[in-house]
Amino acid sequence: MTNKTIVIIEDNRLILQMTTLFLKGFGYKVRKFRSGIGIDEILKKEKCVPNLFIIDICLIPPEDGRNIYNTIRSETSVFKDVPILLCSSMQKRFVMDFKFNDCNEPHFLEKPFSREQLENKIKLLATT
């Protein structure tokens, strides 16, 4: 068990539940959300500084995971240096053609992913 925390934003209840189970299985603490609205304040209140965000792109409209990505990466955000993994059931070429507020290409995982694929991505990202 590490002390690392992963914040996951996913609107599909079942996927959220099972991905959380996997993440806990890898030894992480998980804070889960079905929407990104107000999480900034909630996390600040809980004094939670995550080691990684996992964000689904296609949330319940009008929410879009890519906008949450840009908000987290904005200059004023306290979480601007926290790694983010975007995931989606849409193929990469449909969703990554977007103006991201980041000089690096965002990390992306396409659904359906296996537990192993998820673990490999997380090992790579949740290092700090």
Partner 1 sequence: MAYKKQQENRGTVLSNCFMTNTAKEIRTHLQVIKSLNEILQDTLHGIPGNLPTKYLKRMTIEIDKVTKVTNDFGDTFDLLNEVFELEYEVIDFDYVIKLAVLSVKDSILNKIIISGKTEKKVKVDANKIIKVIKCLLTNAAQYSKQTDYIHVTLTTSSVEDHVVICIQDHGIGIAKNKQKNIFEKKDYNKKVQDDRYPGLGVGLYLSKEIVERHDGHIWLDSSLKNGSKFYFSIPIIK
By rule CB under 8 A, what count of residues binds partner 1? 21
Q: Is 21 in the site for partner 1 (CB under 8 A)?
A: yes
Judged by beta carbon, residue 48 or residue 109, the one nearer partner 1 is 109
Shortest Cβ distance from residue 41 to partner 1 (Å)?
A: 29
Q: Is 99 in the site for partner 1 (CB under 8 A)?
A: no
Backbone angles phi, psi at 79, to 5 degrees: -100, 15
With H, G, I as helix, E, B as strand and everything else as coil, classify residue 60: coil
d(CA 10, CA 44): 20
Binding track over 23-62 against partner 1, x by CB under 8 A? -----------------------------------x----
d(CA 116, CA 73): 27
Binding site for partner 1 (CB under 8 A): 12, 14-15, 18-19, 21-22, 58, 88-91, 93-94, 110-116
